[in-house]
Chain A
Amino acid sequence: MIWADQIVQGIFLGGYYALIACGLSFMFGVLRIINLAHGSIAVLSAYLVWMLADRWNVSPFLALVAIVPAMAAAGWLLQRTVLERSLRSGALTPLLSTFGLAVMLDNLLFEKFGADTRSLAPNIGDLAFNSWTVGGGVTIGQLALLTFGVALALLGGLQLFLNRTPLGRAIRATAEDADTAELVGIDSRRVYAAAAAIAIATVAIAGTFLGMRATFDPYTGPAQLIFAFEAIVIGGTGSLWGTLIGGIVLGVAQNLGSQVSPRGFLIAGHAVFFVVLAARFVLAGRDPRTLFGALRRAPI
């Protein structure tokens, strides 16, 4: 029965991983950028929400109303001022610039907030620890269920947005062929900036849930980036629903691993990631370029 519970908890943990991976997947699918500052931006968002919650006693959910648009604007600016220029200089430059951004953000957060761990759990009352027992030793945490629901809503909403709105179609067209998109009147620079804004806005939501479900400190970001990246690779890069599946596979593997050994949580997750990555290499004919090409898919 413990195993059944661990699988259920793993599925819900997968919801969180899908939530944190959503923006990374979206950014890679549209902009072809692996944003190494992704985890650090999530932690920055958690700190911003924590500041509002701690100083003005604002509910973290209410704080999102202010933080999400602010982070979207930051995403827009980041694209127009840094990433757009980086992209012109080849595939390696965006990696270096987002790595630099991550280092800068982590250290600025350390400078401002110190090494103390924080959490948004005290600001959400019983929701942080309340759960339902559904029988057979399986429990469902209210926050875990909410996180999973938000991940589903966000991924579904993004999918609807991409399929049903003019901007969504423009994003898909640009992701597929930016030069041709220009030839049908789509300003690819604006579309890229809008996509970056959307991606960073989703990171803000994920960062807030990170703060509610766990503790965080200025150097929590890189670990979150790794989990998000693993979820994406397992589920298929650039595919939004694949991200959810990848997150669930990672979450279940980690929880089952933790039942085998205390260190099994991380090892099992990394092992699944490694096996999937290796399988992709083999299926891609052992050609890293083919693998990289296979990763280049639009988020549709």
Chain B
Amino acid sequence: MSLLAVEQLDARHGLLQAVRGVSFALAEGEILALVGANGAGKTTLLRSISGAHRISAGRVLFDGADISAVRASARVRMGIALVPEGRRLFAGMTVEENLTVAGETRRRGHWNLETVLEAFPMLRPLLRRRSGDLSGGQQQAAAIGRALMTNPRVLLLDEVSLGLSPVAVNMVYESLQGVIAGGATIVLVEQDLSRALRIATRVACMLEGRIVLEGKASDMTRERVTEAYFGLRRPDAGSAVS
């Protein structure tokens, strides 16, 4: 049975339909990279899975249970954590407070303050600093650490590298490798196609709210994904559409 499944999911921003009939299923330990141009619906899809965005049709299933009507905070306690686009740390609170406030969901698991600091050693000297004063890379590390503190079974990562310097991106992904090696189940939204293909076990490409290409990362070529990314390969052109 899949750990996370999305069935015929629709989500809107007012009159604009951002996600259209998206379906996929994710088994435990899989890493799905969602790629696509700006406005393709990736962030809305991730926010819909996390409960931060209300869906207009379809279902989100977690461990076989329909959680479509469950509040975001309850989904976190069930084991779904989102690292939102733009990090959205609590700027007035210290890094330590940002981490501990998430740890109070009391889900049992591997992650606690010490293990998060082992995975992201750059955070250790910053614990007493206001998170609003951190650099982009440090904020991203804190945001991922904060999500890990909830001991998620599924980690949703939205635009990890957005707005970061190449050095900061490398640093964050280096730490993230440790999390991945631990067998985490991840849905990753990433603009950097090469990096997404390296990390993911599966890749799904979104265009105008739909998944237009999906498959094993090992079966994907950069050219094939790029074609789907820019809409050169349409769903009716024979690609694997879920």
Whether B71 and A180, one on each chain, are in contact in the complex, defined by CB atoms closer than 8 angstroms, is no
Chain B binder among A56-64, A183-191, A209-217, A258-266: A183-191
In the bound complex, CA of A188 to CA of B76 (Å): 13
Whether B150 and A185, one on each chain, are in contact in the complex, defined by CB atoms closer than 8 angstroms, is yes
CB-CB < 8 A to B228: which residues of A?
none
In the bound complex, CA of A172 to CA of B102 (Å): 13
Q: How far is the CB of B165 from chain A (nearest CB, A)?
A: 24
Q: How far is the CB of B217 from chain A (nearest CB, A)?
A: 27
Tell me the number of A-to-B contacts counted with CB atoms below 8 Å.
73
Assuming A173-B90, A184-B102, A184-B105, is B71 touching A179 (CB within 8 A)?
A: no
| Closest residue of B by beta carbon distance from A180 | B88
At the interface, yes or no: A289 with Cβ under 8 Å from chain B? Answer: no
Interface size bracket, B side: 20 to 34
Q: Considering the complex, which residues of chain B in the window 75-121 have a beta carbon less than 8 Å from any beta carbon of chain A?
A: 76-77, 81-82, 84, 88, 90-93, 97, 100-102, 104-105, 107
Q: How far is the CB of A193 from chain B (nearest CB, A)?
A: 14
Q: How far is the CB of B130 from chain A (nearest CB, A)?
A: 11
Whether B101 and A186, one on each chain, are in contact in the complex, defined by CB atoms closer than 8 angstroms, is yes
B104: which of A169, A177, A182, A300 is its contact (CB, 8 Å)?
A169
Query: Which of the listed residues A180, A186, A298, A300 has the most CB atoms from chain B within 10 Å of its own CB?
Result: A180
At the interface, yes or no: B41 with Cβ under 8 Å from chain A? Answer: no
At the interface, yes or no: A166 with Cβ under 8 Å from chain B? Answer: yes
Whether B101 and A173, one on each chain, are in contact in the complex, defined by CB atoms closer than 8 angstroms, is yes
Q: How would you classify the secondary structure of chain A's contact residues: helix, strand, loop or mixed?
A: helix
Whether B51 and A182, one on each chain, are in contact in the complex, defined by CB atoms closer than 8 angstroms, is yes
In the bound complex, CA of A187 to CA of B51 (Å): 12
Hey, what's the 0/1 contact readout for B38-69 against A, CB within 8 Å counting as 1? 00000000000011100000000000000000
Assuming A173-B93, A179-B52, A180-B84, is B102 touching A187 (CB within 8 A)?
A: no
At the interface, yes or no: B74 with Cβ under 8 Å from chain A? Answer: yes
Assuming A169-B101, A183-B82, is B74 touching A176 (CB within 8 A)?
A: no
Interface size bracket, A side: 10 to 19
Query: Which of the listed residues A173, A181, A184, A187 has the most CB atoms from chain B within 10 Å of its own CB?
Result: A184
In the bound complex, CA of A176 to CA of B88 (Å): 10
CB-CB < 8 A to A188: which residues of B?
73
Whether A185 and B92, one on each chain, are in contact in the complex, defined by CB atoms closer than 8 angstroms, is no
A169: which of B52, B72, B93 is its contact (CB, 8 Å)?
B93
Query: Which residue numbers of A lie inside 8 Å of B, CB to CB?
Result: 166, 169-170, 172-173, 176-177, 179-188, 298, 300
A-B residue pairs in contact (CB < 8 Å), sample of 9: A166-B104, A172-B90, A176-B90, A179-B52, A182-B72, A183-B82, A184-B105, A188-B73, A298-B92
Query: Which residue numbers of B lie inside 8 Å of A, CB to CB?
Result: 50-52, 71-74, 76-77, 81-82, 84, 88, 90-93, 97, 100-102, 104-105, 107, 146-147, 149-150
**Other than the known A166-B104, A180-B84, A185-B107, what 15 A-B pairs have Cβ atoms closer than 8 Å?**
A169-B93, A169-B97, A169-B100, A170-B101, A172-B92, A172-B97, A176-B92, A177-B88, A181-B73, A183-B82, A185-B73, A185-B77, A185-B104, A185-B105, A188-B73
